[in-house]
Chain A
Amino acid sequence: MSVLLIAEHNNKELKPFTLNASTAASQIDNDVHAVIIGHNCDEAAKALSELPLIKKVIQVEAAHYENFVAENFAPVIVKLAENYSHIISSANTFGKNLMPRIAAALDTSQISDIIKVIAPDTFLRPIYAGNAFATVKSKDAKKCVTIRPTSFDPCESSGGSAPIEKADPGEEFAKTKFIKREEVKSDRPELGTARVVVSGGRGMQSGDNFKLITSLADKLNAAIGASRAAVDAGYISNDHQVGQTGKVVVPDLYIAVGISGAIQHLAGMKESKVIVAINKDGEAPIFSVADYGLEADLFEAVPQFLEELNKLNTIQK
């Protein structure tokens, strides 16, 4: 049977992770159909039909789908599910919010946040914030799976021409009302998806000193992270927290400044492709995961780092 991918979009454009989820879906079965639920979302549906991996697009339109409320979306997917062996979405806040509501309605035990497709019924997923990897095999007839977007490459976004079919909308779930969405308007990339993350720890000694981290992040077009110790000390708000109880990040470059490397912090960043640690304690555990370690006083090293970056002709964005 075919795989049904739930597209994520903003009614105008596809969200980038839809491309990663398409790749994951195609590794389960070649016959990937995608459902797009929204309001005036023709442009996004067209973009979806152009993904070469997608064989068919199902578009479901109604005013009450404008704001992606899970209580409205879930019954639409549940109704379509009889024709599919797998329902797939990204394991970001969109998919995390929606998929379990579908799985429970289908009486299926969901498999969350997979990082690899081993077989159509067998997947690899991190547990304990990536401190262990579990291979899990679903015994349910229908499988609900969310995928970790950063573990799958985005698929090609043009060249396809899948047919777009319309399906009937469901009723509105009147007990939940969307009020507003405040998107963070920042020139800085988002912590969860940034290519570069610069994080500060207790070694920063004060919130004011975090401006060193900010300067470095500005230079590298990076997101700003922090250890739990820095958050608990009040240097920075906890939406910057990287770690088991904060965000798990997998950037191309992670720079840990004045972070000793507590277990719970390492759990949130050790899958980063390249890790740099700057710490004056040469015995700090952070050096055990760092590709490049610099044993130095951060208050001297970070300004020097900025100077050296200024000397470069180009810096990747």
Chain B
Amino acid sequence: MKILVAVKRVIDYNVQIRVKEDNTGVVTDNVKMSTNPPDDNAIEEAVKIKEAGKATEVVAVSIGEEKAQETVRKALAVGADRGILVKTEGIIEPLAVSKLLQKIVDKEKPDLVFMGKQAIDDDCNQTGQMLSALLNWPQATFASKIEIKDGKLEVTREIDEGLETIEINVPAIVTCDLRLNEPRYASLPNIMKAKKKPIEQLNASDLGVDITPRIEQVKVEEPPKRKAGIKVSSVAELVQKLKNEAKVI
């Protein structure tokens, strides 16, 4: 079985983002970038399945600017076998990403495609579902447990009401939740080894997909600031304020 894992390069989750002064977006120059956190869970799961002898190859793919190569390289350092980078410029919407991934799937013919449930930059939560619609494959979103049984997958999904279990035929798309596993750190020897693993580079234009944005980003603003609160001197005062001033208890 072959697993394709899609990884996205995003601003690190610990960075306080800043909105550009001209309101065209957020500042990304000289800002620490990392792999989108649930994509780390996706890679981890694929590597674990391979280590358990149930997959033969793990391929990491990223779509984005040249530097997204670092994100692919990190996936290689934690156990992916080879990488693919599809180079694009500027904003690329989930619909376009899923169309590019569809082309990669056509070429690579994986049995499973894993990715994070959502990217922490645009917070869209669309790509996995869109890709499964385009391929007409089953989808298991928000996965917190994956079991492989007789060529099928039993997936536990985190839903608002609790947990849901579904069984899906392979090939399939799985989007991963944070609870799925504990992503490992890359060891220094593995980081060195990853430098020798191949990364195939493609241009989005070579894949024959129209990736022109369909959504105009009119402006990006700071959210309204909270007005400064007060310090209370005792618990009694706090409770009194909550009861009589804020009226929330």
Contact = CB atoms under 8 A, between A and B. Distances in A.
B239 A308 contact: yes
A175 B178 contact: no
B236 A101 contact: no
Interface in A282-317: 282, 287-296, 301, 304-305, 307-309, 312, 315-316
A218 interface: no
Contact of A220 (B14, B98, B249): B249
B188 interface: no
Nearest to A312: B243
Contacts of B16: 131, 263
A127 B121 contact: yes
Contacts of A103: 95, 126, 130
A134 B220 contact: yes
B93 A295 contact: no
Contacts of B124: 110, 112
Contact of B123 (A128, A274, A276, A288): A128
B110 interface: no
A192 interface: yes
Contacts of A108: 95, 214
Interface residues of B, number: 80
A239 B16 CA distance: 24
A125 B126 CA distance: 15
A290 B220 CA distance: 25
Interface stretch (B54-62, B63-71, B157-165, B196-204): B157-165
Interface stretch (A32-40, A57-65, A89-97): A89-97
Given A134-B220, A175-B138, A292-B229, A264 B13 contact: yes
A97 to B, nearest CB: 5
Interface stretch (B43-51, B75-83, B166-174): B166-174
B19 A132 contact: yes
A252 to B, nearest CB: 5
Contacts of B164: 178, 180-182
Interface stretch (A22-30, A136-144, A204-212): A136-144
Contacts of B121: 127-128
B107 interface: no
Contacts of B111: none
- Counting chain B CB atoms within 10 Å of each CB, the highest count among A97, A112, A196, A275 belongs to A97
A66 interface: no
B21 interface: no
A253 B246 CA distance: 9
A157 interface: no
B142 interface: yes
B221 interface: yes
A150 to B, nearest CB: 12
A137 B220 contact: no
A214 interface: no
B139 A70 contact: yes
Contact of B217 (A105, A134, A192, A288): A134
B163 A181 contact: yes
A175 to B, nearest CB: 4
A238 B179 contact: yes
Interface in B205-249: 213-223, 226, 228-232, 234-236, 238-239, 241-243, 246, 248-249
A308 B95 contact: no
Contacts of A104: 95, 98, 129-131, 133-134
Nearest to B134: A104
A129 interface: yes
B221 to A, nearest CB: 5
A176 B126 CA distance: 19
A263 B223 contact: no
Contacts of A105: 133
Nearest to B123: A127
- From A71, A134, A252, residue with most partner B Cβ within 10 Å: A134
A244 B178 CA distance: 12
B122 interface: yes
B238 A132 contact: no
B229 A293 contact: yes
Contacts of A132: 17, 19, 26, 220-223
B182 to A, nearest CB: 10
Nearest to B96: A109
A280 to B, nearest CB: 13
Q: Count chain B CB atoms within 10 A of each CB in A176, A178, A183 and give the residue with the most.
A: A176
Interface of A: 69-71, 74, 91-94, 96-105, 107-113, 122, 125-140, 173, 175-184, 190, 192-193, 196, 220, 238-239, 241, 244-246, 252-253, 262-264, 270-271, 273-276, 282, 287-296, 301, 304-305, 307-309, 312, 315-316
In the A-B complex, the 3 residue pairs with the closest CB atoms: A100-B129, A109-B214, A104-B130
24 contacts: A74-B133, A104-B130, A104-B131, A109-B95, A125-B123, A131-B16, A131-B17, A132-B221, A132-B222, A133-B221, A139-B214, A181-B159, A192-B160, A193-B160, A253-B246, A263-B14, A270-B226, A275-B229, A291-B226, A292-B230, A292-B231, A308-B236, A309-B249, A312-B243
